[in-house]
Amino acid sequence: MASDSRRRAAVLGVGIGLLAGYFGGLVGLGGGVIMIPLMVALLKLTQHQAHGTSLVALVFTGLSGALAYALGGSVDVVASLLLAATAMFTARFGARYAHALPEWKLKRAFGAFLLFVSVLLVSKPYLPHVATRLPAAGEAALLLLTGLFTGFLSGMMGVGGGSIMVPAMVFLGGFSQVTAQGVSLLAMVPSGAVGAYTHGRLGNVRPDVLVGLVPGILIGSFAGGLTAHELTEQALRLIFAVVQVWMGIRYLRTPRPAVSGPSG
């Protein structure tokens, strides 16, 4: 029975990873925002387990993606290190904060995050941005501050943090889109690893699911990137945003558990 359960978790993990990786590859985001709801719905993981397990898988995605961008010369290692320096510090606090939240509160917080990502994704083409890279001191300050925020968010939400890192670098720092994505992928490896390790220590990681999830998301991300050209970028953003809004509203409507017994 136990072996059947592990096999089922691994098989479903492959399917979830493929789907999350494919959609993530289509729109240039990590698959955490897809993986987490699917793991909760199909594998019946708790919200806390889904966040921790997703973060472990995304470390491998970051490694694979960063290597691909590095081979194309689109990774600024110094910028990645600056981002990771503060993100590694706050990721553990984000993971511990998520662990301390009741299930229903974490679900509502995740729903709000999904809606925020949706709005950011749709409005991205219309937002003003800096035309050239900032001076060294200003760029370093921006990256360190961005890392502080995204590290905590990554540890708490079980995502790579690219949905925040990339816009900050493009709109405020003058990075090109490609370079920003490469920097984000490399930075999420050490920061995500810290958050993943913390979640693992807290019992929020399911190794039986990761067996299928990691190869699934790696293959799916590659396939999504290959087929992204078949739809316009704006169409991809709208499709993804609609799905995210629907899921975000569902999560925000998570009921608060009834209090049993006498109050006060």
Chain segment 8-18, per-residue pLDDT in tens: 888 999 999 88
Residue 257: which residues within 8 A CB-CB, separation 6 or more? 102, 104
Which residue ranges make up each domain of the chain? 2-252
Q: Are 102 and 44 in contact (CB under 8 A)?
A: no
Helices (H), ranges, the chain: 2-27, 32-42, 47-71, 77-100, 103-123, 136-157, 162-167, 177-201, 207-227, 233-252
pLDDT at position 263, please? 46
Q: Are 216 and 17 in contact (CB under 8 A)?
A: yes
Residue 69: which residues within 8 A CB-CB, separation 6 or more? 75, 178, 181, 182, 185, 186
The whole-angstrom separation of Cα 40 and Cα 33 is 12
CA end-to-end distance (rounded Å), the chain:
45
Question: Which segments of the chain have a pLDDT < 50?
Answer: 263-264
User: How many beta carbons lie within 10 A of that of residue 230, not counting itself?
Assistant: 9
Q: Is the pTM of this model over 0.75?
A: yes
CA nearest neighbour of 217 among 192, 200, 246, 180:
192
CA dihedral 175, 178, 182, 185 (to 10 degrees): 100
The whole-angstrom separation of Cα 222 and Cα 87 is 26
The CA distances from residue 88 to 51, 138, 234, in Å, are 17, 21, 33
